[in-house]
């Protein structure tokens, strides 16, 4: 399916091109540094190679390449310098972190809340069985994680409680999921590309406990069958005062791009449950703004395909919550479930935006919905979302549950006569403008 991008969508993608350039720069940097210093690792430590990845990383000068030969390495690898860590054959090297915190920890927290490590490449590994995250990246700049399989991590999760026993104090909101399979914290201009992330509690997480997180690219990943949380999560959390005692407010998440991923069959078990992609600013002072979710396939998840939530009390004091200026464009939604708990929707839902704070600047455009009862649900005390050039299914196209407004002109309502009874999509709730509408689908086959 080809489609013409809406002007606003184009502007958003151009604005978010920096992470893509960072990916290319990282790969070229790794290539140019290979001649400077290359270390090898094999299970026997033969032929001048190290026997463990950790020993090779410790011995490597900054800017080196550490090449790992096929085999299983039972260790927790900590990277605190610029280097490239590469499996000699794709998925030939397995990091088995059974009983250990993480498979790989890119640790720049000595400089928190700023980036303490930069220019890191991790490519080609199978990473499994960690107590917490398979890959944790904290306080870093220009990190590329490409072509890995991150599976069966978050082993410390106690489903019955739920709790994540022993998780570090700096991970302030991870007691119920152990940080998902891949976790970026206080990280910028980094790229998570072409990975498969499955059978962890959740898939990929972006958060801000130890510093602001911004301008990252999450692209072309296959994130599936992570049962207790979202496939891809952007969540503003409370600051880690154990690392930064003076921190008073969340640092915030902004201007990240989630593009061309498949996020399927995540969050299907309770307790937990999750969306295909989630953007959350849950309490006063949290901020999650200016992010772009574009051209993803979001299907068969245990909550809506896309969820944007704020859970603060309507009477919560200042500081304000910033859940504005996010863009959801060009995605395919199919077969997702209803939202739950305090953000519940009346049936299976493609997009659900619920907030106790005003929401402004949200754009929903060029999305295709099928096999959903509600395509777009919106509930906020004020504010407005813009919904244009979407192809709605034959259920509820727009369900406005609050006192905010929806500008829903120029959409395809599953029939040429616009929203209404019969085989057309409908509008529920007040303050929805739907005329004029499209008289044919927007997407061009």
3-state helix, strand, coil in the chain (%, to 5): 10, 35, 55
Would you state the pLDDT for residue 32?
42
Q: Cα separation of 202 and 273, whole Å? A: 9
> Which positions of the chain have pLDDT values less than 70?
1-36, 313-316, 444-445
Taking the complete model, does pTM exceed 0.85, yes or no? yes
Q: Are 440 and 418 in contact (CB under 8 A)?
A: no
What pLDDT, on a 0 to 100 scale, did the predictor assign at position 19? 46
Q: Do 105 and 82 contact (CB within 8 A), yes or no?
A: no
Which of 160, 97, 108 minimizes the C-alpha distance to 130? 97
Residue 345 token pair: 């929707």
CA angle 181, 186, 187 (to 5 degrees): 75
Rounded distance between C-alpha atoms, residue 85 and residue 349, angstroms: 41
The rounded distance, in Å, linking the Cα atoms of 317 and 161 is: 30
For residue 321, what are its two tokens? 């919550």
The helix (H) or strand (E) run that includes residue 296 is none
* Residues 311/340, Cβ–Cβ less than 8 Å: no
Q: CA-based diameter of the chain, in Å?
A: 74
Contact 288, 256 (CB under 8 A): no
Interatomic CA distance for residues 140 and 137, integer angstroms: 7
Strands (E), 175-283: 182-188, 191-193, 196-198, 204-207, 213-214, 217-219, 222-224, 232-235, 253-254, 257-259, 262-264, 277-280
d(CA 97, CA 103): 5
Burial class (CB in 10 A: 0-12, 13-18, 19+), 165: exposed
């Amino acid at each position: 399916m080809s489609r013409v991008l809406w002007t606003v969508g184009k502007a958003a993608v151009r604005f978010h091109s920096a992470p893509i350039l960072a990916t290319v720069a990282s790969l070229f940097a790794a290539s140019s540094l290979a001649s400077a210093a290359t270390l090898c690792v094999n299970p026997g430590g033969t032929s001048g190679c190290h026997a463990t990845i950790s020993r090779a990383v410790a011995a490597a000068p900054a800017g080196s390449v550490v090449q790992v030969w096929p085999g299983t390495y039972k260790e927790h690898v900590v990277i605190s310098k610029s280097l490239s860590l590469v499996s000699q054959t794709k998925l030939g090297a397995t990091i088995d972190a059974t009983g250990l915190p993480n498979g790989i920890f890119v640790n720049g927290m000595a400089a928190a809340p700023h980036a303490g490590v930069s220019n890191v490449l991790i490519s080609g590994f199978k990473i499994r069985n960690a107590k917490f995250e398979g890959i944790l990246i904290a306080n870093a700049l220009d990190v590329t994680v490409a072509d890995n399989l991150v599976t069966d991590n978050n082993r410390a999760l106690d489903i019955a409680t739920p709790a994540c026993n022993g998780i570090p104090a700096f991970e302030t909101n991870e007691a119920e999921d152990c940080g998902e399979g891949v976790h970026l914290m206080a990280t910028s201009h980094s790229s998570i590309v072409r990975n498969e992330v499955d059978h962890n509690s959740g898939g990929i997480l972006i958060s801000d406990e130890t510093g602001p997180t911004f301008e990252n690219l999450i692209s072309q990943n296959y994130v599936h069958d992570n049962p207790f949380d979202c496939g891809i999560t952007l969540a503003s959390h409370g600051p880690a005062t154990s690392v930064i005692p003076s921190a008073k407010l969340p640092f915030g998440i902004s201007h990240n791009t989630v593009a061309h991923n498949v996020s399927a069959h995540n969050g299907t078990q309770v307790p937990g449950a999750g969306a295909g992609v989630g953007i959350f600013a849950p309490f006063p002072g949290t901020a999650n703004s200016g992010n772009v979710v574009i051209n993803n396939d979001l299907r068969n998840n245990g909550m809506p395909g896309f969820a944007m939530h704020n859970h603060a009390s309507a009477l919560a004091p200042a500081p304000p919550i910033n859940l504005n200026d996010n863009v959801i464009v060009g995605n395919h939604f199919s077969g997702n479930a209803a939202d739950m708990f305090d953000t519940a929707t009346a049936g299976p839902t493609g997009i659900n935006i619920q907030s106790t704070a005003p929401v402004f600047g949200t754009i929903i455009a060029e999305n295709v919905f099928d096999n959903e009862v509600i395509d777009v649900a919106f509930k906020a005390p004020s504010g407005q979302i813009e919904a244009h050039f979407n192809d709605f299914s034959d259920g509820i196209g727009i369900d406005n549950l609050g006192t905010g407004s929806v500008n829903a002109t120029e959409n395809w309502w599953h029939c040429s006569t616009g929203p209404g009874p019969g085989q057309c999509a409908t509008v529920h709730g007040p303050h929805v403008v739907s005329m004029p509408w499209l008289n044919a689908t927007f997407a061009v086959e």
